[in-house]
Chain A
Amino acid sequence: MFSSRKHHEMAHIFHGAIITVYLIPFLSHPLADAFLKLMRRGSSYSGEWEESADASSLEREWHLWIEQESLRRASFFAFVMDAQHVSIFGHSPALSVSDIRLPLPCSETLWAAKSASRWKREKGKHEESPSFLSALRGLLARRPLPTIFSPFTRFILLHGIFSVTKHMQERDLTASDVGGAKLSADESSQSPSTFSEVDAWRDILDRAIETWSLSLVSQEPSLCLEAAKPLHRMAHITIHVNLIDFHTFARAPSLIGNRTSPNEYARARKRIEQWRMKSIAKRTLSQCLLLIQETMFTRKQYKASEDNIALRPWCLYHATLIVWAYGALTSGTAQGPFLSAEEYLIHMLNGLLVGDGQVTLANSTSGLIETVRNSLRDCRWELLQEAHITLGNLVDARAS
């Protein structure tokens, strides 16, 4: 991901092929004997354990377990990548949650055991991991995740929500194409208290993410949970909007390498307008502002080029685009007073979270955009270099 546009586009093309060739057999027949035999031969771990008569049976058992567990984790990794590419980059999904018929990865202590005997001891302490789907169903029923779940497991389940969100949106889209006027009628008649059928799943997923966010709490520092922080805000956001629409609306270069037609631009703008008119828009906006605040203003000065979490700057960029779009569409382009990034965040969050939900000066975003733009300077990742330019264009357009 810390890479060029070319690699990004190539990754998009190859992603589906890799999943088909490498993972589908594993996902659907997790323990098929023949398959595992084949896997083992190419395994990165000491294959000779099986051959060695001297190695204790415990060692052998441990190494076999390591192979299975690593394969399972690699499969989940593919699923996580798939869900991210779909939700964050607007690619088409290669997997759905129902493809994943695997138990979740094991606990952290079992995985980190340094010897076969320690592994055996740990294994006795814990039950088998529950399956991915049952844990995901639990989340949707607002059951908090057990604390024994490792950060990676929590990360995987968050991406389960991303994936479900995307599939529900696709379903709605198809329904609206087939059902004609039904969807638009629902949208115009909705009020915050009565959820139409269209919004019922949104509510369930929103709450599931709230429940999930309780597992961001951990005593151990974890890079995985650190990366999950902006992503869980993104999960809230993508329930209600399509990030690519904002990308198009800001006239950023297309992510799949083609040109944006005027028609696409008009449609993106229309969908953003529809979102903005809903009462839920203000919650989405709060999530964006909190994401920006948590990323940029909670430790030393944030520099995307030094961030070892690849997606974090990209989330920051999109949250900024959404804030900009909301401001531009709500308060027009008339020049308000200049607010610094901090002033803008405080002013907006105070209005949205503490006050009565009325926001003024929503379009005084130039200070914020400029600050975010500076933090994206000198990135190696080509898409972030483009993001830097796009934000620059937004500031320039405002000034002229």
Chain B
Amino acid sequence: MIEEPNELDLAAPTLNASYIPNVDLSYPPSGSQLDFGNENHGGIQMFFDSSMDTQGLSDELDWLFGTISPEQTGQFESLRNIDAVLPSVSPHSTNSHLSLNDFMFTGDDIWLKVRDKILLPLHDCLPSCLENSFFDPTNLERFYRIYFANYNTHFPILHEASFSCNDAPPLLLLSILTLGATLSDPEHFQTSEIIHDRLRWLIFSVRPLSCPELYYYK
């Protein structure tokens, strides 16, 4: 188990902070991470544990960002810099943090983070799939809305009022977005089919009981 990261670590240049997607720093919150170590849970590890190979994965994924248009990259860059300089959001201030990022869907920021997050588990998919416009932030936001309008009204399993893209595990987000995409245009329907091929195995590779909501991807 990697030790709890402190603010010094986050800002340290040796960690190459600009390469680490913001989500990895803030999820899961450092406090809860420590607690895991203290409890006996049979050595099962979270699939999306930030302590797992953050550096390696984001390096591997670096080539992916070649497909992003220049202005998007720029926007993302500045976002990262801010996060690298400022202290990470502490668990104690989640209230304002939540309301700012999750209840307003106007900006692309949150969806850029979501994209990074869902690309991690998909890193060994074909590039043709990963470069698809499916992963455009605007599309992701659209799929998310389709999901909550069409699936969650039929099967209200996810609590919309408190749902937070920042805190949701990547596989749950991926399930939501691909389900939303099935009711979208044909091209994105196909991509979600390809992802579903992977997703089934990914979900079974997560430690059992982590999140039965994942079941819903079917």
Contact = CB atoms under 8 A, between A and B. Distances in A.
Contacts of A73: 155-157
Contacts of B182: 2-3, 380
A297 interface: no
Interface in A72-90: 73-75, 77-78, 80-81
Interface in A144-180: 150, 152
Given A2-B182, A41-B36, A70 B213 contact: yes
A111 B162 CA distance: 11
B209 A35 contact: yes
A75 B206 CA distance: 18
Interface of B: 28-29, 31-32, 35-36, 39, 41, 46, 91-92, 94-95, 98, 150, 153-164, 167-169, 172, 182-183, 186, 189, 193, 196, 200, 204, 206-213, 215-216, 218
Interface string A1-23: 11110010011001101100111
Contacts of A14: 200, 204, 218
A143 B183 CA distance: 38
Contacts of B215: 18, 22-23, 74, 77-78
Contacts of B218: 1, 7, 11, 14-15, 81
Contacts of B196: 3, 7
B54 to A, nearest CB: 19
A227 interface: yes
Contacts of A114: 161
Contacts of B91: 48, 51-52
A296 to B, nearest CB: 21
Nearest to A18: B215
A69 B209 contact: no
Contact of A44 (B29, B204, B213): B213
B154 A26 contact: no
A242 B189 CA distance: 32
Contacts of B208: 21-22
A52 B92 contact: yes
Contacts of B172: 44
B211 A46 contact: no
B39 A37 contact: yes
A70 B157 CA distance: 5
Interface residues of A, number: 64
A309 B182 CA distance: 12
Contact of A223 (B32, B95, B154, B183): B154
A25 B207 CA distance: 14
Contacts, number: 149
A224 B154 CA distance: 5
Interface in A324-381: 380
Given A22-B215, A114-B161, A380-B186, A55 B31 contact: no
A62 to B, nearest CB: 8
Interface string A202-233: 00000000000000000000111001000000
A45 B215 CA distance: 16
A121 to B, nearest CB: 14
Contacts of A152: 155-156
A114 B161 CA distance: 5
Contacts of B189: 2, 380
A303 interface: no
A83 B31 CA distance: 41
A393 interface: no
A25 B157 CA distance: 19
B95 A55 contact: yes
Contacts of B209: 21-22, 25, 35, 38-39, 42
B151 to A, nearest CB: 9
Given A42-B46, A43-B211, A77-B155, 16 more contacts: A14-B218, A41-B36, A42-B207, A47-B167, A48-B32, A53-B92, A70-B157, A70-B213, A77-B215, A78-B212, A80-B155, A111-B159, A112-B160, A115-B161, A223-B150, A224-B156
A91 interface: no
A99 to B, nearest CB: 15
Nearest to A112: B161
Contacts of A17: 204
A49 interface: yes
Interface in A23-67: 23, 25-26, 35, 37-39, 41-55, 59, 62-63, 66
A46 B35 contact: no
B94 A48 contact: yes
Contact of A113 (B29, B161, B211): B161
| Interface-centre pick from A41, A66, A380 (highest chain B CB count, 10 A) | A41
B31 A74 contact: no
A41 B210 contact: yes
A308 B150 contact: yes
Given A44-B158, A44-B169, A71 B31 contact: no
Given A2-B183, A66-B162, A49 B94 contact: yes
B129 to A, nearest CB: 16
